[in-house]
Amino acid sequence: MNLYIYQNHMPIPTVPDTFMDRAAPAFCLPDAQKETICLEQFRNKWVVLYFYPRDNTPGCTLKAMQFNAALQTFAELGAQVIGVSTDSPESHQKFAAKRALDILLLSDAEHTVLTAYDSWKPKTLFGKEFFGTQRDTFLIDPSGIIVAVWRRVSVKGHAEEVKKVLLEKQKGSGK
């Protein structure tokens, strides 16, 4: 069992995230073209599943562009990168067109997948409490098991960190 999670690009000895070494919660969500995409479609592939608050905001744009720039490398490593937010498929279409993104973006308007992955969290802004998306990333192995978790992600360099851990996990599992 893995005894650490990743936070701000560093493995931190801690009580393991409750999602580590568990089957990834199944889901089906619409993509930017309103096609239904299910996690099960990527069985036998590595999956980088990341949650982000909103299209076209500075941090979320940077994160999407970093993953998009590394998309070919992830594909060569047998990994599918999937970004999920509460934005509509139409918003994802505009975001992808504006930023020339090829990344797979899924819409979770009802927060069901965000909740299933414990990434729909209470937040406070200017003294007001509300629920919103926490920037989290999950690395899922080809058999559907979560093998790495990043909570409250710091955007800068995150795609490279995920790639590094993916390579480590592939070497360790022989996959």
Q: What is the residue-wise DSSP string for 10-41?
A: EEEESSPPTTTTSBPPP-EEEBTTS-EEEGGG
What pLDDT, on the 0 to 100 scale, is given for residue 175?
56
Is the confidence at residue 1, as pLDDT, over 50? no
pLDDT level of residue 59 (50, 70, 90 thresholds): confident
Is the confidence at residue 172, as pLDDT, over 70? yes
Q: Which two tokens stand for residue 115?
A: 């909740």
Distance separating alpha carbons of residues 144 and 150, to the nearest angstrom: 17
Alpha carbon distances (Å) from 108 to 9, 50, 156: 26, 12, 24
The residue type of 110 is E
% of residues, the chain, pLDDT over 90: 67
Would you name the residues annotated as active-site residues? 60
Taking residues 119-144, report their average pLDDT.
90
Distance separating alpha carbons of residues 96 and 90, to the nearest angstrom: 10
| Partners of residue 85 on adjacent β-strands | 107
Stronger pLDDT, 173 or 36, i.e. the higher one: 36
| pLDDT per position as a tens digit, 60-117 | 777 888 999 999 999 999 999 999 999 999 999 999 999 989 999 999 999 999 999 9
Stronger pLDDT, 146 or 63, i.e. the higher one: 146
What pLDDT, on the 0 to 100 scale, is given for residue 4?
44
Q: Which pTM was predicted?
A: 0.87
Taking residues 46-69, report their average pLDDT.
87
Q: Which two tokens stand for residue 135?
A: 């920037």
What pLDDT, on the 0 to 100 scale, is given for residue 60?
79
Q: What 3-state class would DSSP assign to 51?
A: strand
Give the DSSP H/E element, type plus range, for residue 6: strand 4-7
Domains and CATH numbers, the chain: 4-13+22-173 (3.40.30.10)
**Cα 38–35–19 angle (5° rounding)?**
25
* Contact predicate 132/121, CB 8 Å: yes
